[in-house]
């Protein structure tokens, strides 16, 4: 049986657990996996109705908006706006073409009705307050998680991380809607014609992936996905790619799938690699994957999986290859001038001392190295610009020569 992720599911609103127990569980998940599911079975943080509305907006934005209107909102070096098919390359060292996706990045909203960037008429002004409110709720949840991470690592004060993420201060925080075109099966001639037209359709069985292997740039990321839509994989400590189910076991009947939280590079910086910034990617699904499996689950948090004809692991029940794939990510960053200094935590200090004693620069433990999570830069903004320049090389080169 093909392996699946064993990322734990945590209910941060569980009445039977103390706050300190929840904080410790979150910290241990971040140390071991770099990812954790946050169960979303109540209206306390982000109601399912808000998430559903956000995905409805995505469809208006990507399918209901003309390319001409989206181009008027093209992404700039401030990392806000629309990026078209193949314009971003998340794994520039290994990808032969850019990512098979579109994205729209929303920056801050000075007021609920006032965006800080150009938006297409399909969503602005009618839906601008909705976007602003969803962004605010995501940021509020991130502040809560950052405080819990501080408690779980016994940071003094526990608000150390959260304090640097004041929404009133300028930062690289972005709400990103993503659209992956549906996979199509076609003849070689048709595939060549589609590629020549650059229409974004994705040929099944190709060697390219939808979003290249990468780690996230900021502190924490919230990821929202739709049931039945496969693709996300994480790189384990044993250097193996495994799928991450949308709805792990026990959450199938929740109002919406759990929110998937992952640690970004900046929390790895702060904690000397104790919290793990895990490399992940989005792969093409395959219609050869089986929608049912007689095998038992391998983990309390993971449905059963199989391996399709292309060697990619698939999750039972996540076999929607004919529809577009949508996801929404909230990338939470500290204020741009935040210095990435030592965290006031004895646990972090002991980890850093032990790692230096071993003479290793490994991130999250032995086995997998993440070069971007090694301490290289001084401020949050410097790190973000380094990563954006690598992902949008053509955009930055054009800006410099203009």
pLDDT tens track for 41-50: 888 899 999 9
Beta strand 259-263 with 241-243 is unpaired
Tokens 């401030």 belong to residue: 78
Residues 124-174 pLDDT 10s: 999 999 999 999 999 999 999 999 999 999 999 999 999 999 999 999 999
Q: What percent of the chain is modeled with pLDDT above 70?
A: 76
pLDDT at 290: 33
CA 89 to chain centre: 15
Q: How many Cα atoms occupy the beta-carbon half-sphere of 289 within 13 Å?
A: 29
Q: What percent of the chain is modeled with pLDDT above 90?
A: 62
The residues, ordered by sequence, that sit 6+ positions from 229 with a Cβ below 8 Å of its Cβ are: 246, 318, 320, 323, 325, 326, 327
The chain-wide mean pLDDT, for the chain, equals 83
Shortest CA distance to 243 belongs to which of 228, 233, 235? 233
Residues 345-388 pLDDT 10s: 999 999 988 877 766 545 444 455 665 556 554 688 887 887 77
User: Residues 290-306: what's their mean pLDDT?
Assistant: 38
Question: How many Å apart are CA 183 and CA 162, to the nearest integer?
Answer: 40
Instruction: Give the pTM.
Output: 0.86
pLDDT at 25: 98
pLDDT at 280: 96
Highest mean pLDDT among 79-88, 206-215, 319-328: 79-88
Residues 239-280 pLDDT 10s: 999 999 999 999 999 999 999 999 998 888 889 899 999 999
Question: How many Å apart are CA 356 and CA 293, to the nearest integer?
Answer: 46
């Amino acid at each position: 049986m093909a392996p699946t992720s064993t990322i734990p599911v945590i209910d941060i609103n569980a009445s039977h657990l103390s706050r300190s127990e929840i904080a410790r569980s979150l910290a241990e998940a971040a140390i071991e996996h770099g990812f954790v599911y946050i169960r979303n079975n109540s209206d306390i943080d982000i109601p399912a109705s808000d998430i559903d509305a956000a995905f409805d907006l995505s469809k208006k934005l990507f399918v209901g908006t003309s390319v001409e209107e989206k181009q008027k909102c093209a992404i700039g070096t401030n990392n806000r706006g629309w990026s078209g098919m193949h314009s971003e390359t998340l794994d520039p060292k290994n990808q032969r073409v850019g990512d098979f996706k579109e994205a729209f990045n929303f920056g801050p909203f000075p007021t609920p009705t006032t965006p800080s960037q150009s938006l297409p008429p399909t969503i602005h002004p009618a839906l601008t307050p909705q976007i602003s409110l969803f962004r605010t709720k995501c940021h509020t949840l991130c502040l809560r998680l950052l405080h819990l991470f501080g408690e779980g690592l016994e940071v003094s004060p526990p608000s150390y991380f959260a304090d640097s993420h004041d929404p009133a201060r300028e930062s690289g925080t972005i709400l990103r809607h993503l659209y992956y075109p549906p996979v199509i099966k076609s003849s070689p001639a048709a595939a060549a014609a589609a590629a020549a037209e650059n229409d974004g359709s994705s040929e099944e069985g190709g060697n390219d992936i939808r979003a290249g292997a990468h780690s996230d740039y900021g502190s924490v990321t919230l990821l929202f996905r739709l049931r039945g839509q496969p693709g996300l994989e994480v790189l384990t400590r044993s250097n193996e790619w495994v799928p991450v189910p949308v709805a792990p076991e026990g959450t199938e009947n929740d109002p919406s799938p759990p929110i998937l939280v992952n640690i970004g590079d900046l929390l790895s910086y702060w904690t000397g690699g104790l919290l793990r910034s895990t490399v992940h990617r989005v792969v093409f699904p395959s219609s050869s994957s089986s929608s049912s499996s007689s095998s038992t689950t391998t983990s309390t948090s993971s449905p059963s999986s199989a391996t399709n004809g292309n060697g990619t692991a698939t999750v039972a029940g996540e076999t929607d290859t004919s529809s577009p794939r949508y996801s929404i990510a909230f990338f939470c960053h500290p204020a741009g001038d935040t210095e990435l200094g030592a965290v006031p935590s004895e646990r972090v200090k002991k980890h850093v001392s032990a790692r230096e004693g071993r003479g290793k620069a490994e991130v999250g433990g032995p086995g997998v190295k993440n070069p971007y999570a090694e301490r290289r830069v001084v401020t949050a903004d410097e790190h973000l610009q380094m990563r954006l320049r690598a992902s949008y090389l053509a955009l930055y080169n054009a800006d410099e020569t203009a």
